[in-house]
Amino acid sequence: MKQSKLVLTLVAAAVGLIGCGEEKKPEPPKVAAPPPPSIEIKIGSVAPLTGGIAHLGKDNENGVLLALDEANAGKIKIDGKDAKFVIMSEDDQADPKVGKTVAQKLADAKVAGVVGHLNSGTSIPASEVYNGAGIPVISGSATNPKLTEQGFKVQFRVVGRDDQQGPAIASYLAINNKPKVVAIVDDATAYGEGLANEVEKTLKAAKINVLPREKGTDKTVDWKAVLTKIKGRKPDAVFYGGMDATAGPLLKQGRELGIKAVFAFGDGACDGDKMKELAGEAAEGLMCSTAGIPAAAADSKFLAAFKKKFNSDPKIYSPFTYDAANLLIEAMKKANSADPAKYLPELAKMDYKGATGRIMFDEKGDRKDPEITTSVMKGGKLEPVAIFKAGQTVSYEVFLKAAAAAPAEAPKPAAEVAKDAAKTAAEPAKDAAKK
């Protein structure tokens, strides 16, 4: 009997164990959810990163880098996929042949868009390559009119042209300095010669005597022969079309030879720190123009982000290359595609509020109503003194006041804002005349 009970007990225990085993049966392992689909979008950036104007090229590149970093942090989706924007940065050495070569390299890599080139001399030949490949390209600094006069639908720029910049600096020079004789020198590049031509046209139209043109190259650093010739003709002003690497030595040597004329330059020589480095005390009093607003007048959020990332302030055109990169990205978002053929129409009709203000393109790909700034070196600091916009020149202070007041009012066309600013600037003169 005891044995029977023992057997029953063992059987019951076994059944219990089997039941427990069934209850603790392990669940199948959970399969991790697949990562969301992603897409890598390559954006080309081209500028001279070596040589005499590498500091300007790096500044342009930094604008693109900041825009792409912010886009990636924003977790943008394109066509339902997580977009990762990657920069493909190329050094064109400010050389037209190299510019065309790196453009082909970017085309072969199937970049979705390009920000560049810095120089007109490299932008113009490179534009043929981008046009052939159907790749949208936006320059944040190339100013020669020819760039957008070729009929290429993929070519854009977010700065003014030399036929806007030249009249601006020349008019300011004529009105404020009243020179009777002006000497003009250029570096024989598409940019330098083109800008010098526009300055000469404006000065001659104002009945100012312009001396026969003097020439150098974008590598010239010994200007003594040219300057000695100029000194003998006693000009009241000297305009140089070229970059700061050659403009600095020209200015320094001119003062050493005793030339007392005012020296004026275009945007290529409007980096105050570099001009002080190259020309020393001779930089005081120089005049220069930029084909847009001053970098310091860019959007405050951009300026703070730039300072945080690069521990420096923007030089001249990084706010514009930042906007150029963001324009490409915004057009892709609107088209929901990184395919150039699909987002190009969106880019062409863009109305975008960027770090440098409102940006819209005309049928050629030029920025509508760009500002042109004239600055003067005062006390070792380059200070903006005037803004040329929509055919009107106003003081920088008046322009800032008009710009600050504009958001509180109903939006006005740029031409009306400039005319209002000009009217405001003229009031003190009228009051003085009455007295």
HEC sequence for 401-426: HHHHHHHHCCCCCHHHHHHHHHHHHH
- Does 435 have pLDDT greater than 60? no
Instruction: Tell me 299's DSSP state.
Output: -
Range 335-344 average pLDDT: 98
Identify the weakest region by mean pLDDT among 201-215, 307-321, 394-408.
394-408
Mean pLDDT for the chain? 89
| Residue 215 burial class via C-beta count within 10 angstroms: exposed 0-12, middle 13-18, buried 19 and up | middle
Q: Is the pLDDT of residue 429 over 60?
A: no
109-155: pLDDT as tens digits: 999 999 999 999 999 999 999 999 999 999 999 999 999 999 999 99
Nearest Cα to Cα of residue 262 among 182, 175, 171, 165: 182
pLDDT at residue 427 greater than cutoff 70: no
Average pLDDT of the segment spanning 307-331: 97
Question: 207-227 pLDDT, tens per residue?
Answer: 999 999 999 999 999 999 999
- What Rg value do the Cα atoms of the chain yield, rounded? 30
Q: How many angstroms separate the CA atoms of 142 and 146, rounded?
A: 10
38-161+296-360 fold: Rossmann fold (3.40.50)
Q: Which residue reads 């940006």 in tokens?
A: 359
Burial 88-127 (b: 16+ CB within 10 A, else e): ebbbbbbbbebbbbbbeebbeeebbbbbbbbbbbbbbbbb
- Select 163-290's CATH number: 3.20.20.140, 2.40.50.140, 4.10.520.10, 3.40.50.2300: 3.40.50.2300
CA distances from 374 to 42, 144, 384, 389 (A): 36, 18, 6, 11
The residues of the chain that CATH labels 3.40.50.2300 are 38-161+296-360, 163-290
Residues 346-367 have pLDDT tens digits of 999 999 999 999 999 999 999 9
> Is residue 164 within 8 Å of residue 372, measured between CB atoms?
yes
Q: Quick one: pLDDT at residue 391?
A: 81
Q: What are phi and psi of 383, to 5 degrees?
A: -115, 125
According to DSSP, the residues that pair with 372 across neighbouring strands are: 388
* Run of H or E including 19: helix 2-23
CB 142 within 8 A of CB 119: yes
Q: How confident is the model at residue 263 (pLDDT cuts 50, 70, 90)?
A: very high
What is the model's pLDDT at position 416? 47
Note the pLDDT of residue 378: 96
**What is the percent of the chain where pLDDT is above 70?**
85
Which pair of tokens denotes residue 201? 């046209």
Per-residue CA distances from 10 to 6, 18, 19, 235 (Å)? 6, 12, 14, 120
Q: Give me the helix-helix angle, 414-434 and 396-405, nearest 10°.
A: 130
Q: And the tokens for 204?
A: 């001659």
Q: Which pLDDT score is estimated for 407?
A: 55
Going from the C-alpha of 201 to that of each of 32, 197, 384, the distances in angstroms are 70, 6, 24
Residue 414: the pLDDT is: 42
**Beta 77-78 vs 357-360: how paired, if at all?**
unpaired
Which strand (E) or helix (H) includes residue 428? helix 414-434
Name the residue with tokens 């007392």.
260
pLDDT by residue (tens digit) across 37-82?
889 999 999 999 999 999 999 999 999 999 999 999 999 999 999 9
pLDDT tier, 275 (very low <50, low <70, confident <90, very high otherwise): very high
Strand partners, 139: 157
Structure confidence by residue, pLDDT tens digits, 80-110:
999 999 999 999 999 999 999 999 999 999 9
- Separation CA 362–CA 368 (nearest Å): 6
Average pLDDT, integer, range 307-316: 96
Least confident of 7-11, 161-165, 244-248: 7-11
| Structure confidence at residue 238 (pLDDT) | 98
